[in-house]
């Protein structure tokens, strides 16, 4: 019986309404007092479940003398109830589809807020970088090459650049001048899609800034944290700033 209650509850009755239906079904028929005693419910509580079951055609009423008695309808009517609910849902879906574009327009106008996603730890930082380089628009950066490679290997860097190359876009790097000049011939294999300019030596930082499309990413190599802000206006402002520097170096 308990298993049946749970199955009926999944039809949208709720466990208590299902318990009332099963009680009446096993009794054959009964008045409010008899059903309340069978279910161990208060009379005042029972009425709401009886009304629900009547409305959904699980029960029907008969009059015996001055008393109202309740009887269970043929269980086959459960299928009729499900079919009716299915038709109602289809009708509601059709109605929503008609005015959904209007709601989406209002949402876009009144509820647009920048989306901010926080990343912490090396693996999460890699995830953030992958998200930024999996793009169909050029990427502009301002970053410290030295500090980048204190966290990531050349192999990890290669995988990121391979993702970017597959997108068919270009990477414009504004790089902090290395403190110690090193052989960077390995970078030449990316020359077809990575453009670099070295910043003046007085500009020192331990971070990375990337912009692509409507996203801006800020990275702290020292703390191994990153934030991606998705907002067209913010991204456009930072992109213009980086382009301005790029043209003047």
More confident residue, 104 or 232: 232
Average pLDDT over residues 142-171: 91
Lowest mean pLDDT across 16-25, 77-86, 235-244: 77-86
Looking at the structure, do residues 59 and 137 belong to the same domain, yes or no? Answer: no
Domain containing 21 — which CATH number? 1.10.10.10
Same structural domain, 52 and 173: no
Give the domain extent around 218: 115-247
Q: How much is the pLDDT for 132?
A: 95
User: Is 128 a residue whose pLDDT tops 90?
Assistant: yes
* CATH code of 211's domain: 3.30.870.10
Better-predicted residue by pLDDT, 203 or 119:
119
Residue 10 has pLDDT above 80, yes or no: no
Same domain, 48 and 145: no
pLDDT digits (tens, 9 = 90+) for 182-226: 556 777 889 999 999 999 888 888 899 999 999 999 999 999 999
Q: Which of 79-88, 104-113, 191-200 has the lowest mean pLDDT?
A: 104-113
53 lies in a domain? yes
Predicted confidence band of residue 66 (pLDDT cuts 50, 70, 90):
confident
Is residue 90 in a domain? no
Residue whose C-alpha is closest to residue 176's, from 138, 221, 131, 216: 221
Per-residue pLDDT tens for 91-101? Answer: 988 888 888 88
Mean pLDDT confidence for 1-30: 82
Does position 109 have pLDDT exceeding 80, yes or no? Answer: no
pLDDT at 1: 55
Q: In what order do the strands lie in the sheet with 171-175?
A: 115-120, 225-230, 215-220, 207-212, 139-143, 171-175, 194-198
Where residue 139 falls among pLDDT bands split at 50, 70, 90? very high
In a domain, 70, yes or no: yes
Which residue, 77, 106, 130, sits at the end of a domain? 77
Q: Does 207 map to a domain?
A: yes
100 within a domain of the structure (yes/no): no
| Residue 88 pLDDT | 87
Average pLDDT taken over every residue of the chain = 88
| 180 assigned to some structural domain | yes
Please state the domain count of the chain: 2
**Does the structure show a pLDDT above 70 at 34?**
yes
Q: Is residue 143 part of a domain?
A: yes
Q: Are residues 37 and 160 in the same domain?
A: no
Q: Which residue has the tokens 């800020």?
A: 218
């Amino acid at each position: 019986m308990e298993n049946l209650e749970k199955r009926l509850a999944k039809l949208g009755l709720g466990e208590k309404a299902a318990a009332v239906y099963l009680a009446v079904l096993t009794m054959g028929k009964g008045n409010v007092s008899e059903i309340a005693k069978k279910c161990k419910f208060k009379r005042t509580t029972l009425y709401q479940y009886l009304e629900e079951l009547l409305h959904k055609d699980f029960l029907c009423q008969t009059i015996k003398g001055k008393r109202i008695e309740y009887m269970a309808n043929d269980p086959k009517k459960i299928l009729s109830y499900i079919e009716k609910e299915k038709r109602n849902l289809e009708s509601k879906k059709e109605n929503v589809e008609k005015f959904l574009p209007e709601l989406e327009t209002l949402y876009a106008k009144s509820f647009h807020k920048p989306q901010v996603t926080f990343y912490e730890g090396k693996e999460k930082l890699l995830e953030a970088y992958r998200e930024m380089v999996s793009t169909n628009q050029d990427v502009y950066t301002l970053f410290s090459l030295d500090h980048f490679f204190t966290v990531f290997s050349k192999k990890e860097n290669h995988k990121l650049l391979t993702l970017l190359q597959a997108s068919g876009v270009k990477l414009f790097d504004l790089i902090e001048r290395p403190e110690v000049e090193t052989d960077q011939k390995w970078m030449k294999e990316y020359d077809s899609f990575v453009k670099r300019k070295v910043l003046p030596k007085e500009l020192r930082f331990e971070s990375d800034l990337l912009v692509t499309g409507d996203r801006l990413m800020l990275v702290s190599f020292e703390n191994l944290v990153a934030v991606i802000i998705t907002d067209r206006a913010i991204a456009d402002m930072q992109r213009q700033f980086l382009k301005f520097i790029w043209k003047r170096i």
